[in-house]
Amino acid sequence: MSSAQSSMQLSNVSDPLRVHVPPNETPEERKRRIAAEKKAKKISEAIDKQLKAERDEMEKTRGTKLLLLGSSESGKTTVLKQLKIIHGKGLENEREQYRHIVHLNVLTAIKALAKGFEVNNLTLENSENDEHLAAILSLSSIKESLNRQSLSLQAAVGGLKSADDATAILLANYESVKAVWSDSAVQKYFESANDIGLQDSAKYFLDNVDRLAQENYLPTDEDILQARIRTLGVTEHKFDINSTTYKIYDVGGHRSQRQYWAPYFDDVNAIIFMAAVSAFDQPLEEDLRINRMRDSLDLFNTICNHPLFKNTSIILFLNKIDILKKKLNRLQLKTYFKEYQGANDFQSVTKFFRREFLSRNKVVDKNVYVHFTHATDTTQMRVIVASVNDMIQRENLKASGLI
C-alpha cells in the first residue's frame, strides 16, 4: 500500500474530536457553520459550568467525612477542642460546664494518688500531712471508678449528686489537696505511679490548684484542653475550613465502645488515627495485662487493612510527644519493648514507633501521613490542621480525576 493510500485511509477514519467540513463549502456556509460551532460550544460550556456548580453544591452539602479513631486516652477529644478554637466558635460556651469537669479532674487525680499511697503502705515525708491524706481518702462522694484515668462527662455529672458538688468538695478540701500534693514523698511516688490510672494532665491541674480553687474561677482554653472527658458513643462535629465543610465523627476508643464504629465506616474521605506514644509504659485500663501502645498498634493494623478502607488515606497522629520526652529522661523504652535496641532518645524512639505503625500497613499504594503531635499546643496544631486540610483537598482532587 502506497503512503498516499495510507493517508487516504487514515483520513476516512471517524474522529469524534474533528469537526466535519463539507467538501466545496461556500464562504456563506462556512460562516454559518462557524457561528453554529460557537453557539454549540457556548451551550456546552454553560452545561459544564452548571454541572460543576451542582457537583460543588452536592459536595458542600455532603461534606468531607472524616473518622477520628484511636485507643482511649489518645487525645481525640483534645483535637476536636483545638478545631473549635482554630476553625470553630471557640470554647466560650463551654467554660462554665468545664469548671466542674476541671475540679473533678483535680479530685480524681489526688484521690488516685492517695489511694495508691495507701495501698503501697507508703509514708508521707511530713507527718503533719497525715490528717490531710486521711481527709482525701475519706472523700466517698468521689466514686471509686473515677479514681481511674478515664472520666466521662456523664460520670462527672452523674457520679456526684450534681456537677456543682465537685466544686464544693474541692473548695472544702483545698488545703488537704495542696498539702498532700506538696509532700515530697507524694511527688516522688507520682514520678513512678504509671499503674494507678492517673490522667496525663494530673500534674498540670495539681500544680495549679491555687488558681483552680478560687471562688470566681473560670477555665482558660488551656485548662479545657487539659481536661479529661471520655467519649461515650459517637459524636458528630462540623467545621468549615477554607470553604470546605468537614464532618468529623469522634467515636469512643475504649474497647467496649469499638463495637459502635462499624456503621460509620462507609463513604469516608479520610481517617485520622491517634495513638499516644507516651503510653509505652502503661497498661490498658480495661485489661491491665495489655500494653497501651501494643493495643494501639493492633488497632491500627485492623483499621489500616480493613477492606472498607482499602482506598482511604490515613492521617496518623502520634500524639503526646511532650510527655514522651519527659518519660524518656527516666524510663527505658526497651524495658517495655524488648525488640527495641536503639538509643533511648526522642529522635530514635519516635523513628521506631513511626516504623512500627507504618509496617502494619499491608495495602499497596495506600497513603499514610504521619504527624508527631502535641495536641494541647494550639500553635503546633494550627500548622498541622492546615497541612491535613491541604492533603485532603489534594486527595479529593485526585479522586475526581482533576489532577
Q: Which residues are annotated as a binding site for Mg(2+)?
A: 77, 231
Report residue 49: phi and psi, to 5°.
-65, -40
Q: How many whole angstroms separate alpha carbon 54 and alpha carbon 47?
A: 10
For 215, half-sphere exposure in the C-beta direction (CA atoms, 13 angstrom radius) is: 0
Q: How many whole angstroms separate alpha carbon 270 and alpha carbon 293?
A: 23
Is the C-alpha dihedral spanning 345, 348, 354, 356 positive or negative?
negative
The DSSP secondary-structure symbol of 241 reads E
Angle at alpha carbon of residue 141, lines to 139 and 142, rounded to 5°? 80
Residues paired with 246 in a beta bridge: 64, 239
Q: What is the three-class DSSP state of 240? A: strand
- Helix and strand totals (H; E) in the chain: 16, 6
Known binding-site residues equal 73-78, 200-201, 225-231, 319-322, 375
Q: How many whole angstroms separate alpha carbon 394 and alpha carbon 380?
A: 22
Q: Residues 313, 271: contact at Cβ < 8 Å? A: yes
Per DSSP, which regions of 301-397 are E strands? 313-319, 368-372
Known binding-site residues for GTP equal 73-78, 200-201, 225-231, 319-322, 375
Closest listed residue to residue 254, CA positions, set 318, 299, 209: 299
State the Cα torsion 136-151-160-169 to the nearest 10°: 40
